[in-house]
Amino acid sequence: METILLVEDTSFFEKAVTRLFRKTDGFKLIVAKTYREAQRILEDGGNEIFVALVDLTLPDTNDIEIVDLTVSSRIPTIVFSSRYDEGLRTRILEKGVVDYVLKDSPASLGYLKALVHRLRKNRSVSTLVVDDSTTQLRMIAERLKRLQLTVHTASCGTDALAVLKRDPAIRLVVLDYIMPNMDGIQLLKEIRHLRGTDGLAVMGLSSCQNPTSMARFLKFGANDFLSKSCSPEEFMLRVGQNLDTIDRISELTDAANRDAMTGLRNRRFLFDAGRKVFDVCRKNGRPATVTLIDIDCFKQINDRFGHEAGDSIIKLLADDLREAGPADVIAVRQGGDEFCLLMPDCSQVEAIERCQRLHDRFARRKLDYRSAEVPISLSIGVASGVEADLDEAIRVADAHLYDAKNQGRNRLAAADYSRTLTIGTAAAASAALPA
């Protein structure tokens, strides 16, 4: 739960902001109507406050004093005011506030909400600034930290690449165009070779006003390009927009690689990322075992109990598959009632043991649907773990799954191994449904 301090004496805007940040979204709002109230709140528990939203017009203070209070308490501060005075705005922005937002339209409330959510996300985002000027490096890093970002710095291309290799979580790189030894274009090429374009935004900065420089940067994979003379406000807005774009791309990519019903990975992910995992294991002489799992008599369950019951069983199995092994196990819904586990660094023997534990867990579940107990059991086929590639491993596992089905269901089959899984009520469950 993130605590927001709202310093606002107008009931209308207090209610409007309160509606923006609900407890269901993970926010707790504390309201102060005066400078003194805000001061007491900070004295009592200022360390818990995530961000302060402050109005400038308060009954017991001047324009700047409330900003000085929150900024000096090291609280990220957003000024939300109906007053617009260019001189006042400039002075306030120079004090290190996150932003100055005008109360001039409903769109301002939407922007304010998006900004606060961006700040919350930024607490888990790493960035890298590359500039050979110590002064520029310090200034840009300070602006990024104001946005609650974790900041790494490097003064040359070689150091920057080393930082990127050490920290794959870096989502944004801000780099200078003109640098000795390795200029911004050369570094950009190396960055894109190292990390590609997925999940990493690159912003170029230059004191050079040549339009050709901007075009070259963008052609070689930069997401944005800014003049070093741009205002701090524009710079931070561009940073937020680039991070928002990266987030949206990540969300779309995740949705494209995930099964909507269960939240497990899907076939697309298995044959893309899963193939790479499998190939790395085999290249290094390590096992990688593929297991195919099928819910027995699933069509008959749907016909007898309805598709809601079938969907419930699929979700129950998906929950168990998430617990089927270490974090590196890839659990996939292949489609319908068929699932797959890709287990890196896992021998066939260990895979069989994991599948037996999976079956034990699943067989002990009881699914009552409309006062009737729905019988559930699994058939499982396990590959050897030493196949040459993922496609071969899936073919082998599928052949063993076919054997398990033909031998009466509710079985686990692998090379030189086949046994009925009789834990709990599984055997009776399989027999309870027609072939």
Q: Which of 69, 92, 120 is the last residue of a domain?
A: 120
Amino acid at 297: C
Q: How many domains does the chain have?
A: 3
Q: Are 1 and 120 in contact (CB under 8 A)?
A: no
What's the CATH number where 78 sits?
Answer: 3.40.50.2300
Residues 249, 232 share a domain: yes
Residues 426, 302 share a domain: yes
Residues 418, 319 share a domain: yes
Residues 133, 55 share a domain: no
pLDDT at residue number 191: 94
Residues 131, 83 share a domain: no
Residues 138, 116 share a domain: no
pLDDT at residue number 127: 97
Residues 378, 282 share a domain: yes
> Among the listed ranges 38-52, 82-96, 262-276, 366-380, which one has the minimum average pLDDT value?
366-380
pLDDT at residue number 421: 57
Residues 293, 367 share a domain: yes
Q: Which two tokens stand for residue 255?
A: 């949705």
Tokens 């008599």 sit on residue:
297
Q: Which of 67, 93, 120 is the last residue of a domain?
A: 120
Q: What is the pLDDT of residues 81-119, one digit of tens each?
A: 888 788 888 888 889 999 999 988 889 999 999 999 999
Residues 134, 111 share a domain: no
Residue 220, helix vs strand vs coil: coil
For the chain, what is the mean pLDDT? Answer: 89
Residue range(s) defining the domain that contains residue 334: 267-431
Full-model pTM: 0.81
- Does any domain span residue 113? yes
- Does any domain span residue 350? yes
CA distances 223 to 58, 125, 164, 361, Å, are 41, 17, 17, 48
Residues 333, 416 share a domain: yes
- Does any domain span residue 261? no
Does the pLDDT at position 287 exceed 50?
yes
Q: What is the pLDDT of residues 27-56, one digit of tens each?
A: 989 999 999 999 999 988 777 899 999 999
More confident of the two residues 432 and 315? 315
Among left, alpha and beta (phi > 0; psi -120 to 50; other), residue 373 is beta
Does the pLDDT at position 129 exceed 90?
yes
Amino acid at 23: K
- C-alpha triplet 122, 128, 134: angle, nearest 5°: 120
- Does any domain span residue 8? yes
- Does any domain span residue 81? yes
Does the pLDDT at position 264 exceed 60?
yes
- Rounded-to-integer distance, Cα 196 and Cα 56, Å: 45
Burial pattern 252-272, b for ≥16 Cβ within 10 A else e, equals eeeeebbbeebebbbeebbee
Residues 114, 136 share a domain: no
434: pLDDT confidence band, cut at 50, 70 and 90?
very low
Does the pLDDT at position 422 exceed 60?
no
- Does any domain span residue 30? yes
- Does any domain span residue 262? no
Q: Which of 67, 102, 120 is the last residue of a domain?
A: 120
- Does any domain span residue 416? yes
Residues 281, 195 share a domain: no
As separate numbers, helices (DSSP H) first and strands (DSSP E) second, the chain gives 17, 18
- Rounded-to-integer distance, Cα 296 and Cα 219, Å: 54
What's the CATH number where 427 sits?
Answer: 3.30.70.270
- Rounded-to-integer distance, Cα 290 and Cα 383, Å: 5
